[in-house]
Amino acid sequence: MIERYTLPEMGRVWSDAHKYALWCRVETLVLEAHAAAGRVPADVVEPVRQAPPPTPERVAEIEATTQHDVIAFLTAWADNTEPRSAAAYVHHGMTSSDLLDTALAVQLTDATDVLLAKADRLVAALRDHGLAHRHTLKVGRTHGVHAEPDVWGHRVADLAFAAARCRDRLRTARTAVGVVAISGAVGTYSLIDPSVERIVAEALDLRAADASTQVVLRDGISEWVSALAVFATVCEAVALEVRHGQRTEVRELSEAFGSGQKGSSAMPHKKNPIRSERIAGLARVVRAAVVPVMEGIPLWHERDISHSSTERVFLPDAAITLDYLLDLTAGLVENLVVDAERMRANLDSTGGLIYTSAVLLELVEAGMGREQSYALVQGAAMQTWQTGTPFRETLRARAATEGVALDEARLDDICRPERYVANLDPLFERLAALS
């Protein structure tokens, strides 16, 4: 991922320098286990443990000849080992994927921990914003068209619970990818004792694979990428709400606009929802990772390498992008500008059409047939759409034409927006308990 969207902590997780440090750690743990079991000389452990990780530049230089990254790493690391002869026991009984998959599991779980911390911030931001606007009346829209009265906090609560569910999926996915496999060339432990795998897994606070071939089957990694994609899409749902709310015709929401900020090189008046649009664009990047990574599940027999190049691109990019998205979305919510007066004006802008559902039920409960009630209310509503005459007036005139008596006092009561949101208190109690 380009530096523009890479935050420092997550960037470090996926840096080549950190990767090679992890490779050294895994190889050292394996060597220590061998030495403890008496399979290799005990005196080779300390020189290997003290050898500094090779630089990415040195590994790349050797790989240009070997065309094999693990061999290049082992050669470069051996060059850093004194005496170099101690390095002969490094990678003992292992195959490349024992190292690669185990170190990748550490990277994936470390990346997940970074994401979970940011997920906590986003959930808290949405929760607090929703509670702050539990009484901020707005119009609810379906198909983009005014439907019934709502409160802004209700819409935000829905997104807060979605973010919390995404966080739960991340936690589950962390377990799915936290798998160690050190089982040899085709997973049969032919040249390495199974106890080594268990010892390394315990040291890394991961779990040993239930079974592996030369690689760990990629269903767990696919689950992890899918969890990231769902979370990115929930971030986009937050952004989409802001993008709609900042449209000139709506003007209910707006992103914070700082002093000195510019919206357009040509039009000085512009205040554009650039953060929300960036969220929408980057969510596509994370979703794009799902299918290519999932296609790494079916490999030839005990392993081929077709998954490797895909994962080198999409796993870091998906994690780095979601990390940036979570940070950007939390900041968007924390600094969101809500125009409650404009929300109320938009609520009232259709002349009472938003109350047709309550009027329909009121007529039915008063004894009129549902079809007749629907026809009466719809006819009055269509006249309001066409003429701009307030709905209560068109309803009153149409009812008089059809000889239907209206209870005006009752209509006064049901044509109040507060009536539509009176049952939301339990929802906000659940929201307040969200942590």
Question: For residues 47 and 35, is the Cβ–Cβ distance under 8 A?
Answer: no
- Helix, strand, or coil here: 140? strand
Residue keyed to tokens 């936690």: 171
What are the residues whose beta carbons fall under 8 Å from the beta carbon of 365, sequence distance 6 or more? none
Residue 309 catalytic? no
CA distance 111 to 202: 19
CB 181 within 8 A of CB 197: yes
Give per-residue burial for 352-362: e unless 16+ CB within 10 Å, then b. Answer: bbbbbebbbeb
73 half-sphere exposure, CB direction, 13 A CA radius: 22
- Marked catalytic residue, from 143, 259, 301, 435: 143
**Cβ-Cβ contacts under 8 Å for 386 (sequence gap 6 or more):** none
CA–CA separation, 153 and 134 (whole Å): 4
The answer to whether 264 is a known catalytic residue is: yes
Short-list 429, 394, 424, 433, CA closest to 411: 394
β pairing state of 145-151 and 179-180: unpaired
Q: Which residue has the tokens 């829209």?
A: 141
Which of 85, 190, 264, 309 is an active site residue?
264
Q: What is the DSSP code (8-state) at residue 44?
A: G
Largest CA-CA distance found in the chain, in angstroms, rounded: 104
Rounded Cα distance, 40 and 50, in Å: 17
Which residues, other chains included, contact 148 with Cβ-Cβ below 8 Å and sequence gap of 6+? 139, 140, 354, 355, 357, 420
Report the residue count for the chain: 435
Alpha-carbon span 62 to 328, nearest angstrom: 40
Q: Looking at the annotation, which residues are catalytic?
A: 143, 264
